[in-house]
Structure 1
Amino acid sequence: MENPHNCRTLHILLFSQLVLLLQFSSLHFLSLAYELQEKYFVNCGSDATVDLNGRNFTGDLKPDSFSFSKESETIKSTNLTISSLYQTARVFSQQSYYKFEITETGTYLVRLHFFPFSSASSNLSTGIFNVSDSRFTLLNNFTAKINSTSNSAIIKEFFLGINSTDSFKLYFTPQASSFAFVNAIEVFLAPSNFTPENHNSNLPLHTTYRVNVGGPELSPDNDTIRRNWEKDDIYLSDPNSAKNFQKNTPLSHNIEGQADDFVLSTNFIAPDLVYQTAKVMTGNSSNITWSFSVSRNARHIVRVHFCDIVSDSFYTIVFDLYSNGNLRKQIVGLDSPFAKALVTPFYYDFVVNATESKLINISIAPNLKNTTEKNAFLNGLEILEILEGTSLIYNLEESKKVNVALVVGSVLGGGLFLFIIGFMLCLRHRKAKKSRGGISHNLGLKISFAQIRSATNNFDPKMQIGVGGFGYVYKGTLSNGTKVAVKRCKQEGQRSGQGLPEFETEIIVLSKIRHRHLVSLIGYCDEGSEMILVYEFMEKGTLRDHLYESDVPRMSWKQRLEICIGSATGLDYLHKGAAGGIIHRDVKSTNILLDENLVAKVADFGLSRSGPLDETHVSTVVKGTIGYLDPEYMMSQQLTEKSDVYSFGVVLLEVLCGRPAIDITLPREKVNLAEWVVLCKKEGLLEEVIDVSLKGHIDPSSLRHFIETAEKCLQHDSSDRPTMAEVLWDLDYTLKLHQTARLGEAHEDSTTSASSAFLLPNIRHFASLDSTVNRADMRDDEMESTESEIFSQLRIGEAR
């Protein structure tokens, strides 16, 4: 039995020791000023020192404080017109590494240079390989290919947290019978303020884009830490929406600080030349949008750079920043805490999740509520992918697996180490007993981590089919041949934040319900730090995919009605048929999945609330997805099954109109789907809302009844909304009207016939534009991460 007195004593001792260590390390890092680093710059496969942009790259054949494994060879190019740095390469036929001695813990900038030249013995462009450190994969199945007319190398840039207690190794792993190579390597300490202040994650970052908006391409010669900035023109969605603006005025770098998530810039963050140019709006544009292709379903950090070189006086330009249709931030020409000079450069960081479309759209648009100046500007932009794939390192001769416990022990000392081990075991026992008590009765659903890893081919990125607030989703096949969808909690969300409650709620809800129109839980894994949910595999993806998110053929009106009926049937069962009643709380088109026969099943019960539905649930924080949230729930925080009914009404409009509930790329009056439909109804332009693929193919009576059903669902007062059972009856009747009617010349145009019957309530502005919702509680695919979350995700360690 545990002794409470001993535990308290251990807590006090451990806490005091850790405080001393943290105080010492903090003072050490803060006392050092950053200087441009001299090491490491490596000329691979050579004994010569080469100067490139003011950096001396030392040949790896010379003795230095770095080394490489012996299973490699050097090759030389016969093309003397390319830079001498790229005339040699080191080639690896098996997994090998470069090792660097690190003397200071912090965030390091790592650049890998690849120039795939051909020699008498090899063609480097045919190599296929991985690059990783001891924990994470940096490049997966990489092959270096460049334009045959280009003499530019491929440079891959990463930010890695590296501990001074270990040697840092970069592993090069050939795939199958191929080979790996590298021409040059840079490893040096980044400035301390290069990543947001509170970043303490070990996840590496990969620079995907670095853009000088409104200005020319900037070579490394123009950047203090030798970065390249490309022009933005090719990323503009509408070239006519923006024009370049330049003002060669000295910038104000004499103030320091951070306010409202804006951070003052330095010449290490971005060159002055970036802030002295910008894109501004043309007279006939309503917004400026840049579109970037990124890795599917990966998380990305976006850093936007601002400097008001446009205004003649303070606060004349006020505009909004959007990403993928989400309002991120209101930008004043100069944020008031920095109001010492107009030309003060600052930046703002946030996290965006890419979707299946593999695009990130960044938009700026005037905020005409707060200014009469119809303008907006952007000076620079960077996008960095957050890498989360773990590496697979073989047992190389000089490589030993790191035992975390031994490292901790050696750093803190043997006595304290023993105390920590005892403390961790005690704490783990208590937390496991507390956190897993709610799902202990579901042991029959447990699946081992080994089985899941085998089913997903060790979570192969090629098997990844989606990402959400909880984690990544993989397609898999169990040993009995059952196809499954595997949802694995993101590492940073495990046992803390929203991850554990959603995990437990999903298991508890789905373990006690079974219905044809609800996604079935096959099992779950709760081993160590892993939280994994395994569902039946839904072959046709989400309803949203079939409405406007893919190139698949658009569904007929009959198919759409059948899907709505199936979804309503599942929700009605949740509300009245399930034990005790369940409120889904996050009804939307991405949470309605379709099997191979287009049978609809409601999914994602992580936010669900259980209990008798004859009383309202009072929630301290509004949760759900912007665009679907019940306005009454948002105001009163009283949650009922009628909140699901409202959200389902928005889904019905998506089905009819074939567009998202919120689409910031559209003109302002069309951004919110429900508001737009109301506007069209008032102006007698209802035909504009109908999905073009449906026009002329819907019986007017069926359409009229469908619209009336949506109208009832979207009533502002929840008492005026129908129950889900009543919605189901209305949809059944709508389908019967469509099936029994004779489409053709005997009927008037469907949209015209229905216009007079469409009487939607006075729907208020939603939080998508005038946000009153806590963004930390929005669902992942709408507002993936807040600015405060970025700070907990990016800081790898203090640098000088």
Structure 2
Amino acid sequence: MGIVILCILLLDVLLSTTIAQTPQPYKPTDLILLNCGESSPRTSSDGRKWEAEAKSQYLPSTSQTSSTSRASEQDSSVVLVPYMTARVIHSKITYTFPVSSGAKFVRLYFYPATYSGLNKTTSFFSVAANRFTLLSNFSAYLTVSAPHASASIVKEFIVTVQDKQQLEIAFTPTPSSFAFINGIEIVSMPNGLYTKDMDDPYVYVRPGNPQTFYFDDTTALETVYRLNVGGRFVSSVKDSGLFRRWLEDSSYIFAAQFGVTHSAPDYVPIEYTNKTPAYVAPTDVYKTKRTMGKNSRINLNYNLTWLFSVDSGFTYLVRLHFCETESVKPGERVFFIFINNMTAEQDEDVMYWSGGTGVPVYKDFVVSVAGGSSGKEDLWLALHPNIDSGPKYADAILNGLEIFKLNRSDGDIAGPNPEPVAAPPKQLPISIKKTRGKRTLPLLIAIGAVIAALFAFSVFFCFFVRQRRKKMQSTQKSALPTERCRHFTLAEIRSATRNFDEQNLIGVGGFGNVYKGYHESVSMPVAIKRLNSSSEQGIREFRTEIEMLSRLRHVHLVPLIGYCDDRGEMILVYEYMPNGALQDHLYKTDSPPLPWKQRLEICIGAARGLHYLHSGTNHTIIHRDIKPTNILLDENWVAKVSDFGLSKVGPTSQTPVNTVVKGSFGYIDPEYCRRQKLTEKSDVYSFGVVLLEVLCARRPLIPTLPRDQVSLAEWGRSCYQRGTFDQIIDPYLKGDVAPECLKKFAEISYNCVHDIGSERPTMVDVVWGLEFALQLQEAAEKNRNGPDRVNFDREIPLLPRGDVVSSGEDDDNPFSGSRITLGASGTSTTLSYSDGARTDAVFSEIMNSAGR
């Protein structure tokens, strides 16, 4: 008997523990579901009960200004409740909701159908809630007509009702138009869920170091995005009591690398805390996540990135949800958080921050999106491993994401309507009427004859095309250019990569995975870059790269051998570069450091390739993504510029190209960012950063360093101006860089990263200067052990820009100089071009810019 009682007690304890671990949903004080235009209560497909508007207390007598109506059609994706009935509004009406004070979700439901015979395309109206303008000149029809839009709309806002105040929602049609509303939902929420007190600031993300930002419950918000990252759609009834909808995130991932999704095992419960109560987000959000994957080498070469289209000219709250559900210790997984190419967090350590496995946390950031002419701008979120502290995993994670738009100072939170989709050409109707019987018969006969003729021609044409296709070779199947590159079939690509075997994986880029492959038709190994077919951005880059490289051939551009576009695949085939990318030999690598002279030669090669793009073709080609990972090295260490997916053809004149800012963190021209005007000098800036990386062997951005050293470009400029440039070089190079060569190299780098584009040199000047620096290095090495030997270890002051650093006669050339003093201890050696080093020989690459 005692054993039975003991078992019952143990079972009770287990049951109580299970119940305690199951979070209880939040019970809102106010919960209103108003089915507009409906006369009887209805239950929606998710089991929620909607109140009939006709019997509600919220709407005043509106017999003169509005009416009820039913939708004349129903899209297959649209549910009955609340979308099939509506209140049609002809002049301003106001719904009044006597609710408690505090923050409320206000959800407005719209289905743009035909109501009471009215033309849905002419419906434009505004919606206000208390003092906030939620929608202005809103068109539900244009909204659902946008690409990838749903047939119905739910607009969600957060509005705080103050003490002794009611919630009033007013609908005002635009003159000569009408408004409509299908459903209104009001749900109260816990205070402080999304807005904070003024003594609890948000992190404001801006260029440089983040600052603090304040807003409280006097601010209204619009929900723009809410995603369950790495998981499935979470419906409103599966939310934690607030009836929010969490969408999948896969549609918003940018580029080809999707990372890896992960679900928590059943034995790892989600343990909510006082800082993160159960109503913050449901367990379904915290039990799933997206990581970068297990391959640290690949993870270090890409960012896990999401891209969102938002209204320009507003400030946004970005909330990120995290939960470690794997066996990870503090400090073992640390990563950067970037928002709009700015550092929001540099050492995000979820386990350290949360304090345990299965403990959810969230972090808020505020960012402003500048105004643009189109009314829409991109908001970027990117994660990247931070390995400075030596974590166990080079990885990053994210479980959930929410983005909210904040109202402006005038209370306006409304954005513009989507641009109208271009309509197809109108077809002239064929009218057949009894009164035109005599004219109709001949017309019908003529039309029939035309149709018969067209049918016969179509049959003949299809037969002809089919026979011709059988005779065509597989290399002629694509509409893409094939003059200098061949078309590979998907079967050939699979054979070359052993069906994309991960053992052949050699890298990951913004485009996709890169594999080493072998093909019998090519007498050399090839690099095969495979696009993720769901990436729209990648498709544009795919076509851009083929169009660029099919026309270009140069010893310092990576050769494109061919491509494959079968069965929705987007694959590029290049000549394989055995020595990898330049970055692989600079830092965070097991490869031996490159000697200084070899680094100079690589820089010269890359500069020649870039000069050819700017000046060696009919139109200037701006690369837009110059960085060490896009400078590849062949078996002879010859540098070749690669990755032309972001390239842009410039105008024939000197006018800049207006374009959206694109590129890589740390390399983007600041003037390009400010003005959104692209010139070839933007490439010069990026190349200047590469020169500094080559000299210093460090990344372009390291947020953990002191503020003046975070940006390599800014630090390099500062050191040059102070005359301390020789103190920032790679320690491995100490004693190997000739002082005069370092002077010239420093001058070139400084000029390239000038903040003003017009002050930067052209690439022809850069090539000239680098080749001269190489001559200085070689001359110094030749005399290193001679009677007039050069002291490589001495520290020399590097003069600021504008001071004389050479005795050349051509003062207009920033890299001029024909007689340079290389000796030490008062002796000098003259470098003379008469000794087989004439300018026309040394710089022959410039004299003939034709591709080789």
Into which bin does the TM-score normalised by the smaller protein fall? Answer: 0.3 to 0.5
Q: State the TM-score, normalized to the length of structure 1.
A: 0.48
Q: Which of 1 and 2 has greater Rg?
A: 2
Which one scores higher on RCO, CA 8 angstroms, separation ≥ 6? 1
